[in-house]
Structure 1
């Protein structure tokens, strides 16, 4: 499981965009969001760099937490 800090994530629409983008890359990925901490945990076999690219494609800057 990888944790990413996503400072621009603030609502359910944000999490939905991120979830859609990550699951387009890995349909079996499991995501857990903490809006208060602005973090997302992703359980995926894909490399962190690809997951970060998917989050960026959704319109959010992210970094490993």
Structure 2
């Protein structure tokens, strides 16, 4: 399970974009987005760095 803190995620549209971005990296992933905590949990066999790169390109860089 990969977890990311996305400080720039603030609304339902953001959450939808984050979920779609994760599915582009791994169409078989399970994605759980929580807008209130600004956290996304992704269950995937893909490498964490692939998700970091995709989320950053989508405008939602994970906090370090």
Provide the TM-score with structure 2 as the length reference. 0.89
The alignment yields a C-alpha RMSD, in angstroms, of 1.2
1: CA distance, partners of 2:63 / 2:45: 18
1: CA distance, partners of 2:32 / 2:2: 10
Match in the other structure for 2:7: 7
Gapped regions of structure 2 (runs ≥ 5): none
2: CA distance, partners of 1:15 / 1:57: 15
CA contact (8 A) 1:9 1:38 kept: yes
Is 1:44 equivalent to 2:44 in the alignment?
Answer: yes
Is 1:57 equivalent to 2:57 in the alignment?
Answer: yes
Provide the TM-score with structure 1 as the length reference. 0.88
Aligned residues: 64
